[in-house]
Amino acid sequence: MTTTSNQMWGGRFAAGPDAIMEAINASIGFDKRLAAQDIAGSRAHAAMLAAQGIISDSDAEAIREGLLTVLSEIEGGRFEFSTALEDIHMNVEARLKDIIGAPAGRLHTARSRNDQVATDFRLWVRDQLDAADAGLQALICALLDQAEAGADWVMPGFTHLQTAQPVTWGHHMMAYVEMFGRDLSRMRDARARMNECPLGAAALAGTSFPIDRHATAAALGFDRPGANSLDAVSDRDFALEFLAAASICAMHLSRFAEELVIWSSAQFRFVTLSDRFSTGSSIMPQKKNPDAAELIRAKVGRIMGANVALMMVMKGLPLAYSKDMQEDKEQVFDAADTLMLALAAMEGMVRDMTANRDRLAAAAGSGFSTATDLADWLVRVLGLPFRDAHHVTGSLVALAEGKGCDLPDLSLADMQSVHAGITEDVFGVLGVENSVNSRMSYGGTAPAQVRAQIARWKERMA
């Protein structure tokens, strides 16, 4: 192949890298996604250089206009990216030189590609945190609508996927509101901590030019500049925190998706998913497959994998910058894309799905779901120790199983055959409606408690 002198390395290397080195060294194939952030950082840097008298106002203006032209070309699909120029930074700078000539060479004064890429990547991740914030808010609002509509609809609550106690549809929806609310908090917490600007840290030691790092930080929406130049160029905690928060969020999405897969099955029929988020079978005409939920359930692996991959890249690196860190982006890009798609799909499913109230109510009363209410009544009314009440209730469940009926279907005589002190009043606690209405402890499933939590969250989301 034809070799040319490499502009970035100057005279250090007489010949350019061969095809293999070019392929392993280049990152433009993926870091071109940082174009908008790269140009924003360069514009802020040029403005600061001019304000500090490091470059002339005319050069700064030419750089500003030239960068806007480059951005327009990229956004319009007219920009030709070059693998030979390695990365987005050099591709932009080379095109800027084509447009404005010599002033382009002054843009890189008092900075390095090390602080430049750290700034670009931090800006990009910050945008993803904001996008995740918006996606989570939309999902939470969809869940609140479902919870409000069914605040008093009874359904079975499960442990071990076995019927445990009756709960309400609203209570179940609000459980996911709490889970995704913690995800929202983690995204916001990560954003607050990562909002420091690396620009001006230069290669690793800062610069002798009289730059104003507070000005560039403010121009780019950061709270402050990074306080240590070594850390500023080598830190990727912000990306790891995003991936960690995204992994937990994806796990929550997967758990909910699993429930939707189960609930929409012919055996459960708790919910009906809309045609927009389901598919048919190529061979079985009766099928309606919850494909969107299944794909959300699967995508958690990609996001968690990205978290592990970046952790492995970073775990053995000495300060400050190493080329290993070029491998910090692709997995973050993929994880962010995957998370945003999963959030949007889940919000759509939640907004479109219909809870089958009659089916929920029928299932709520099966499987001896009010056994705990019976045990509590024995303690509260007859004064039995709970362990004794537990034993009596177990015997009554066994009796009902033997008769092929549920607890409310036993006669008073049946119950008194197990414990003579049981009275007619016991039937008042055995209905599922009575059961859920009695759970008035804070955070309980009683409709009044559910509505109180909905109101709290609506105020928080306003």
Helix, strand, coil percentages in the chain from 3-state DSSP, rounded to 5 = 65, 5, 30
Q: How far is CA 399 from CA 163, 340, 372, 420, in A?
A: 18, 52, 16, 15
Question: Active site includes 369?
Answer: no
Long-range Cβ pairs for the range 204-207 (8 Å, 24+): 204/112, 204/114, 204/229, 204/230, 204/233, 204/234, 204/319, 204/320, 204/321, 205/229, 205/230, 207/110, 207/111
- 224: DSSP letter: E
Residue type, 156: P
Angle at 381 between CA 375 and CA 384, to 5 degrees: 60
Catalytic annotation, pick one of 58, 185, 281, 366:
281
Q: How far is CA 457 from CA 172, 174, 357, 444, in A?
A: 15, 9, 24, 16
With a CB cutoff of 8 Å and minimum separation 6, the contacts of 384 are: 378, 392
> CA–CA separation, 401 vs 393, rounded Å?
12
Decide if 128 contacts 37 (C-beta within 8 A): no
Cis peptide before 320 (omega within 30 of 0): yes
Which 3 state secondary structure label does DSSP give 3? coil
Burial 98-116 (b: 16+ CB within 10 A, else e): ebbeebbebbeebbbbbbb
Nearest 10 degrees: CA dihedral of 336, 340, 346, 351?
Answer: 160
> CA–CA separation, 146 vs 183, rounded Å?
19
Catalytic annotation, pick one of 160, 208, 282, 441:
160
Question: Active site includes 160?
Answer: yes
259 CB neighbour count, 10 Å cutoff? 18
Strands 354-355 and 196-197: unpaired
Catalytic residues, by residue number, are 160, 281
